Structure formats: structure tokens, C-alpha cells
Structure 1
Amino acid sequence: MIVNVFYNEKGIGDTLIVSIQDIAREDRLFEKKDDVVRIYDEKTNELGGFNIFHASNYFTLNEAGKVELTDEKVAELNRVISEAGFSDQLEVDLTPKFVVGYVESIEKHPNADKLSICQVDVGTETLQIVCGAPNVAAGQKVVTAKVGAVMPSGLLIKPSNLRGVDSFGMLCAARELAIPDAPQEKGILILNEDAEVGATFPVAF
């Protein structure tokens, strides 16, 4: 389960937003118990997330923006959700979302001249990622944003289908990672050969 948690007291008040998946507005329903609101799909009952009001009564929150989850924070979230009377429990993937990847192979996209289909080793698995960077090539070590990553721009990386080909992540440019003085021209960031495949790549935002 990919879970992203956000808190911005100045922007939206003392509310913790727990986001699991987008649900179309016309299918979205809300169920409130105490300070917890469950957001779900009316047709499928799939869970979209929770809003937890008066969040500072339940959690110690120092962040403004994305909240970095730990096993302890997930346990606290589950406790608050359970004590409000909901049976849902969050099972969160806490593995790093920005990692060093190794481009094992690339092939041209059959339906798009400027896209390449890359097989990228991220240490624990090989991901298929469709990439539009003009400088991508086999044998490179690159910054890979896995599904569930939140980019500095706020973009959430999700599984996607680009011109008929499935893609499970993104190969990142320096400017997309908000690296100071990053070049503005198109192209992914190529890492040094000694970068360890699967290692966490630090993204500060």
C-alpha cells in the first residue's frame, strides 16, 4: 500500500491528510467518526484515504508538507483510525522511493519516436520505466523515482501507461530533483560509476 501523509497547519489548518489513491469526485464518499473522516469509493468501497482533524491532539507534528513515515508513525495512525471506530489498517511500504538505478537495457517505444522503454535495476527488482530523456542509455546509473515517490514539485509517481506501454517509475533530471544550479536542458542526471545500485538518493525539499 502506497501511503502519503501531508500536514500544513498554516495552509489548511490542524488537519492530517492521509492519501492512498485518487477517487473520482463523482464516486467519492465520506464517513466521519469523531475527528477521523474516511474517504472511499461509493461503487467499490476502495479506500482513498483519511482526514484527521485536530491532528496535534493525536500526533507530534513538526513538518510542513509531506510527513516522513516510520513504523512508529504508522502504528500511531492505525491506533487513531481504530480508536475512531474504523476497521481499516494501513500497511505501508516504507522502502526508499528515490534510489540509484542501473539502466540494464533500452529499446525504442513502438508508438512514440521520442520515448524509450528502459529496464532499470533498483537493487531489489527490475522496473520497466518509459523515459523521454534524450540522453538515456544502457549502462548508466541514474536517479530513479519509484512508485509512491513524491517529487519536489508535489507530483506523485504512480504506475502509468504511456502510448500503450506500462511504466513503473521515473528517471529523474537534476532540475526535477530541485538540485541547486541544475542544468535546465532536457536530460536525466547521470551518476558516477561508483554509485551503489539500490542505495537511497537523498532528495531535500
Structure 2
Amino acid sequence: MIFAYNPAYVGDTLLIITDDDKGLPQEVTRKGRVARIQTEDGNTVGWNIFGISQLTALHGTGQVELSDRQIEILNHALQEAGFTETLSQDHSPKFVVGYVKTCKAHKDSDHLSITEVEVDQKETLQIVCGAPNIREGLKVVVAKPGAMMPDGTMIWPGTLRGVESFGMICSAKELHLPNAPQKRGILELPQDTVVGDAFVIE
């Protein structure tokens, strides 16, 4: 679940992204200060909470972190508006240090590679990567499904050239790191970096 707040461009509205809309047409149901966004098949993919500063103070712009108490406040607002759904908090990091366990060429592409990347909790994700410097044995930054990139792009499971991909291996430029090289290529982390640690974007 992603929380985003940008009062300068969106107004005093908290945007909550709960699922990938997969490009399907959306339907919006508004009750008071709460709007629910659903795809035409009835799947809830997001919420807008208007006048959020009247309910709780938010800090930062773009993707923001909410406390458990703030989640309780939002759920109370949903209930007051007449919705039966509830929001749940996910404290697990979405940007983590990963280790490239395997890397093989995609048979239907001249530049894509299929990798197996170990992330946190010993979980291994299959990720299709197009970087020219991707290879087995690297420590890298992984944006897991549900991550919001600094430019606002959401990372969801997808398929590239017929192969499933569950996340993205990031470049310094994609992470908006200072002095990031402009040439293509993922960020290579020092080998003593701990796999599974959260990668914090300042």
C-alpha cells in the first residue's frame, strides 16, 4: 500500500494506492471526504482522502509513511463515510539490497536478462533486467512490487517478452541519487552490503 501527498500539485488530499489497475477503466465512488477507486471488475485499487490535514498531520511530499495510529484514523474516516473496507499497514521496506543469484540471457531479446535475486527474508524474486552491466554475484538495489519510484512510477509484477518479472533492479539515475551517471546501467553496491537491508532514498 502506497501513501502519497503533494499539496502543491494535488491539494490537501492523501492518495492511497492499494493495487495495480492493469489499465482497466476505473469507477469512483465518493462519500463525503472519501473516494474509492475501483476497476470495472470491482477490485479496489485506491482511495482519495480529501482534507487530510483536518484528520492528521502529514510530513514530507511524495510518498509518505504513516503510523499505525494514522491508519486507525483513516479507517475511522472510511467507516464514517459508509465504506466497509479497511486499510492495513505494511511496514516491510520496498527498496532493499538484493543479491543476483543467477543471470541468463532472455531467449527472445538481444538485451534483456532473466535474473533470480535474493532479497529480504530469504525471498528470491525473478526479475527481468535490461541493464548492460547486470551479472551474477552483484549486490543491487531492488524495488519490490508495491514500491513507488522517486518520479512517481509504481512497480508492479509484470511480463516482459513473455517472462514474468516481480520488481525492478534500479540504477542510480532511477533512484534520483546525487551525481548519478547518465549512462545506462544498474547501481552496483559494495560486496559487504547486507542482503535484505532497506535501501533508503534520501
- d(CA) in 2 for partners of 1:109 and 1:45? 35
Contact 2:24 2:39 in 1 (8 A): no
- d(CA) in 2 for partners of 1:58 and 1:25? 31
1:196 corresponds to which residue?
194
Q: CA deviation at 1:28?
A: 2.0
Contact 1:16 1:52 in 2 (8 A): yes
1:168 corresponds to which residue?
166
Contact 1:100 1:122 in 2 (8 A): yes
1:100 aligns with 2:97: yes
1:150 aligns with 2:153: no
Q: CA deviation at 1:181?
A: 1.0
- d(CA) in 2 for partners of 1:25 and 1:129? 21
1:183 corresponds to which residue?
181
Which SS does the other structure have where 1:175 is aligned?
coil
1:8 corresponds to which residue?
6
> After superposition, what is the alpha-carbon deviation per residue over 1:1-22, rounded to whole angstroms, capped at 9, x for unaligned?
xx21222222122211112235
* Amino acid aligned to 1:70: S
Tell me the TM-score normalized by structure 2. Answer: 0.92
Which stretches in structure 2 are left out of the alignment for 5+ residues?
none
* Amino acid aligned to 1:164: G
1:121 corresponds to which residue?
118
Contact 1:121 1:197 in 2 (8 A): yes
* Amino acid aligned to 1:186: R
* Amino acid aligned to 1:36: V
* Amino acid aligned to 1:133: A
- d(CA) in 2 for partners of 1:163 and 1:110? 9
Q: CA deviation at 1:134?
A: 0.8
Which SS does the other structure have where 1:12 is aligned?
coil
Q: CA deviation at 1:74?
A: 2.2
* Amino acid aligned to 2:194: E
Q: What is the number of residues matched between the two proteins?
A: 201
Which SS does the other structure have where 2:120 is aligned?
coil
- d(CA) in 1 for partners of 2:101 and 2:188? 14
- d(CA) in 2 for partners of 1:66 and 1:181? 22
Q: CA deviation at 1:26?
A: 7.2
- d(CA) in 2 for partners of 1:78 and 1:131? 38
- d(CA) in 1 for partners of 2:146 and 2:22? 19
Q: CA deviation at 1:101?
A: 0.3
Q: CA deviation at 1:25?
A: 7.9
Which SS does the other structure have where 2:69 is aligned?
helix
Q: CA deviation at 1:70?
A: 3.2
Residues 67-146 of structure 1: pairs in structure 2 closer than 5 A: 67-124=64-121, 125-146=123-144
> After superposition, what is the alpha-carbon deviation per residue over 1:57-94, rounded to whole angstroms, capped at 9, x for unaligned?
11112322222133333222222112221001123432
2:44 corresponds to which residue?
47
Tell me the TM-score normalized by structure 1. Answer: 0.91
* Amino acid aligned to 1:147: P
- d(CA) in 1 for partners of 2:22 and 2:99? 36
